Chain A
Amino acid sequence: MKRLLYELAESWKIAVAQMRSNMTRSTLTALGVIIGIVAVTLMGTAIGGIQVGFDKSMSIFGDDVLYVGQWPWKNVDDWWNYRDRRKIKTEYADELNRMITMTPNSNLAIAIPTSSVYRSVKYTDSEVNNVLIRGTVSDYIITSTFDFKEGRFFNELESRGGANVCVIGYDVADGLFPSTSPIDKSVMINGQPFKVVGVISKQGSFLGLFSLDSIVVMPLPAFQKYFTAKSEAEVLVKVKDKTKLADAKDELAGLMRRVRGLPPEKKDDFSINEQQALKSTLDPIKNSIAIAGLFITGLSLFVGAIGIMNITFVSVKERTKEIGTRKALGARRRTILLQFLIESTALCLLGGIIGLTFSFLMCSLIGVAFPSFPIRFSSELVFVSMFVSVLTGLVSGFAPAWTASRLDPVTALRYE
């Protein structure tokens, strides 16, 4: 045991001396690993960033809310079967709520109607286009995850009365009121004035695809008065216990069939969507992006590893006589094997540390330059990339080290 320790210490010293005396060669070889580690770690941070963004986007939907709509949240091959379904109506929410209160031990808490349409929003000379206008009830706030930057959500009185009030998203507020508070100002939608009562805090975007801050929320009666054309309705149902989501879903399906008056032999003509189902649709896509990304960047690390293997072979060849001498002096096979493994590993570890430093700097720079870019540098990443470097060194050094350990001492001593 002690001998192994001394041999390891000796091998380490030799490895360092070897790297120093072949500075150019070691640097160039390590460069392959450096580039590989930079590529892999940057990809790792990007994947980490995507994961965080993905989770954040998913949390918008809430994990205890079911969404009743015409379309399912997934790709369908037979879209024509869905196209002709009856539209979802906001009135379903009232019927559902009535049935929920009549059902003892219902898994459902409350149904909330929503109806949405895209319109422009104006204030004096400013205009924001393509804003999601959503009509709903004051209880909508229960199912939502957003906070208020200023003001409040509309109250029950305003909700029932269909007052011309609205809550606006961060982007709308920013676009129309860059320097003043929008509270109590009136914005124009479809030529109708709506008084702003609240501003929602910045929510970011959904998977980077569309902004969640380009939104105006208003009481449903007001919405229905002005925006009936091309609007699309969806009923949100909050469940009581999110661990019984499947039961809740079944119960809701039953209630919806009653609302729709579907005979038993007919299939559902509506879709009940949830965050989890969306996640399981999007997860494989996200995962294959991650795997493809890591595979491609892994190739560059692989090239680096081949460089290490090559240089270790050269090193073994150059030092054949030294290996012979060491064997004559009593070095065993294991000793020689370890010596060259440690050399290749030290080289990879050096490359790994330099590479990691580089990617840390690059991440910090990207973070400063593009704060919204999804990138995350974590301690696991440091640990994993160090582990990968060491592994690369061991794997790429093994074949040459094995060759060295198997050299016949007589032949090795005679080698010039």
Chain B
Amino acid sequence: MDTRDSIRPIGPIVIDIENITKDYVMGEEIVRALRGISLQIHRNEYVAIMGPSGSGKSTLMNMFGCLDTPTSGRYEFNGKNVASMDDDELAAIRNREIGFVFQTFNLLPRSTSLRNVELPLIYAGMDPEARQERATQALVDVGLGDRIHHKPNELSGGQRQRVAIARALVNNPSIILADEPTGNLDSKTGEEIMALLEHLYHRGNTIILVTHERDIAAHARRTVRLRDGIVESDERVSVAQLESVAVS
């Protein structure tokens, strides 16, 4: 592993999960979505979570995103025990520590790019001037400095996803959680979005990418494969391998 990644110092642990399970009750049946998963994700890692549908990757992503709490097991986010938090505490964690990027962008349709990006800052209680400045900067950072007053229906798919990424970034979260971020984009635009994520990674962000596409996952430096609710494999990929994938 003589790549430039291998010489990057490994940062402190952001996500630390140990033996977590998640059961869903569907009618009379209990579906065991996660059957005991342990993972550690450090600051400034770029991790892809892969797996076929039904493997539990969506459930795991909901755990990472503090949208849901595990049935059993330990989950610490930046050293704080998430498993026992109530709804409002989880909301505060999501607001400050996690930036979501969704497959379907999830922008507010009638609000401008600026107002969409401002939203997390409103929930954080920031002053109007400061939040406008921060949101504008975030939009400039993703290359949309000239689109701040456009509404989602006036933007292309790639631009919408950039707005969503700006929104995910604006609170300086500990992790960016991207769930199939290119799933609704054509491959060229998808590559542009992946390049943007790559750029963010190099700026020091921690990125967790959930995908079922191999060539999208190949952008990450570490791939966790799930199957039937357990970790099937967890490997670090070199940039050399990454480049060979890109060439092929």
Task: Give the B-binding residues of A (Cβ under 8 A).
Answer: 2-3, 6-7, 10, 17-18, 21, 321-322, 324-335, 409-410, 413
A164 CA to B108 CA in the complex, in Å? 90
Chain A nearest CB from B179 CB (Å) reads 9
B68 lies within 8 A of A322 (CB): no
A185 CA to B219 CA in the complex, in Å? 114
C-beta contact mask, B106-132 vs A, less than 8 Å → 1, else 0? 101011000000011011111110000
B95 lies within 8 A of A329 (CB): yes
B125 lies within 8 A of A329 (CB): no
B122 lies within 8 A of A10 (CB): yes
Contact of B91 among A2, A17, A330, A410 (CB under 8 A): A330
Question: Given A330-B92, A333-B88, A413–B67 Cβ distance below 8 Å?
Answer: yes
Q: What are 27 A-to-B residue pairs whose CB atoms are below 8 Å?
A: A2-B125, A2-B127, A3-B125, A6-B122, A6-B125, A6-B128, A7-B123, A21-B110, A321-B106, A322-B106, A322-B108, A325-B108, A326-B123, A327-B91, A327-B94, A328-B65, A329-B120, A330-B94, A330-B120, A330-B123, A330-B124, A330-B171, A331-B91, A331-B123, A332-B88, A332-B91, A333-B87
Q: Does B167 contact A (CB under 8 A)?
A: yes
Q: Does B43 contact A (CB under 8 A)?
A: no
A364 CA to B127 CA in the complex, in Å? 47
A329 CA to B111 CA in the complex, in Å? 15
B87 lies within 8 A of A330 (CB): no
Contacts of A331 in B (CB 8 A): 91, 123
Look across to chain A and name the residue whose beta carbon is closest to the beta carbon of B61. A410
Contacts of B120 in A (CB 8 A): 329-330
Chain A nearest CB from B242 CB (Å) reads 30
Look across to chain B and name the residue whose beta carbon is closest to the beta carbon of A4. B125
Determine which residue in A2, A327, A334 has the highest number of CB atoms from chain B within 10 A of its CB, and name it. Answer: A327
Contact of A328 among B67, B92, B127 (CB under 8 A): B67
Interface of A, helix, strand, loop or mixed by DSSP: helix
Question: Given A6-B125, A10-B122, A413-B67, A325–B91 Cβ distance below 8 Å?
Answer: no
A326 lies within 8 A of B67 (CB): no
A330 lies within 8 A of B67 (CB): no
Contact of A326 among B65, B119, B128 (CB under 8 A): B119
Chain B nearest CB from A334 CB (Å) reads 8
Contacts of B125 in A (CB 8 A): 2-3, 6
Look across to chain A and name the residue whose beta carbon is closest to the beta carbon of B121. A6
Determine which residue in B119, B126, B127 has the highest number of CB atoms from chain A within 10 A of its CB, and name it. Answer: B119
Contacts of A413 in B (CB 8 A): 67, 102, 106
Contact of B106 among A2, A10, A325, A335 (CB under 8 A): A325
B67 lies within 8 A of A329 (CB): no
Chain A nearest CB from B182 CB (Å) reads 18
Q: Does B75 contact A (CB under 8 A)?
A: no
C-beta contact mask, B69-84 vs A, less than 8 Å → 1, else 0? 0000000000000000
A330 CA to B168 CA in the complex, in Å? 11
Contacts of B119 in A (CB 8 A): 10, 326, 329
Chain A nearest CB from B96 CB (Å) reads 7
Chain B nearest CB from A410 CB (Å) reads 5
Contacts of A322 in B (CB 8 A): 106, 108
Q: Does B100 contact A (CB under 8 A)?
A: yes
Look across to chain B and name the residue whose beta carbon is closest to the beta carbon of A324. B106
B68 lies within 8 A of A330 (CB): no
Other 14 A-B pairs with CB < 8 A, given A17-B110, A327-B91, A333-B87: A2-B125, A324-B106, A325-B102, A326-B123, A327-B67, A327-B94, A328-B67, A328-B94, A330-B94, A330-B171, A332-B92, A333-B91, A409-B67, A410-B67
Chain A nearest CB from B13 CB (Å) reads 23
Q: Does B189 contact A (CB under 8 A)?
A: no
Contacts of A332 in B (CB 8 A): 87-88, 91-92, 123
Chain A nearest CB from B4 CB (Å) reads 33
Look across to chain A and name the residue whose beta carbon is closest to the beta carbon of B110. A17
Chain A nearest CB from B99 CB (Å) reads 9
Q: Which 7 A-B pairs have the closest CB atoms?
A: A330-B95, A3-B125, A330-B123, A325-B106, A332-B91, A409-B67, A332-B88
A21 CA to B111 CA in the complex, in Å? 11
Look across to chain A and name the residue whose beta carbon is closest to the beta carbon of B131. A6
Q: Does B184 contact A (CB under 8 A)?
A: no
Look across to chain A and name the residue whose beta carbon is closest to the beta carbon of B177. A328
Chain A nearest CB from B158 CB (Å) reads 19
Q: Does B62 contact A (CB under 8 A)?
A: yes
Contacts of B91 in A (CB 8 A): 327, 330-333
A2 CA to B125 CA in the complex, in Å? 6
Contacts of A327 in B (CB 8 A): 67, 91, 94
Contacts of B87 in A (CB 8 A): 332-333
Question: Given A328-B94, A329-B167, A413-B67, A335–B110 Cβ distance below 8 Å?
Answer: no
Determine which residue in A7, A18, A330 has the highest number of CB atoms from chain B within 10 A of its CB, and name it. Answer: A330
A335 CA to B126 CA in the complex, in Å? 15
Contacts of A330 in B (CB 8 A): 91-92, 94-96, 120, 123-124, 171
Look across to chain A and name the residue whose beta carbon is closest to the beta carbon of B59. A410
Determine which residue in A6, A17, A21, A322 has the highest number of CB atoms from chain B within 10 A of its CB, and name it. Answer: A6
Contacts of B122 in A (CB 8 A): 6-7, 10
Contacts of B126 in A (CB 8 A): 6
Determine which residue in B68, B122, B126 has the highest number of CB atoms from chain A within 10 A of its CB, and name it. Answer: B122
Chain B nearest CB from A409 CB (Å) reads 5
A329 lies within 8 A of B88 (CB): no
A332 CA to B94 CA in the complex, in Å? 10
Look across to chain B and name the residue whose beta carbon is closest to the beta carbon of A412. B67
Contacts of B127 in A (CB 8 A): 2
A321 CA to B103 CA in the complex, in Å? 13
Determine which residue in B95, B96, B127 has the highest number of CB atoms from chain A within 10 A of its CB, and name it. Answer: B95
Contact of A335 among B65, B68, B123, B167 (CB under 8 A): B123
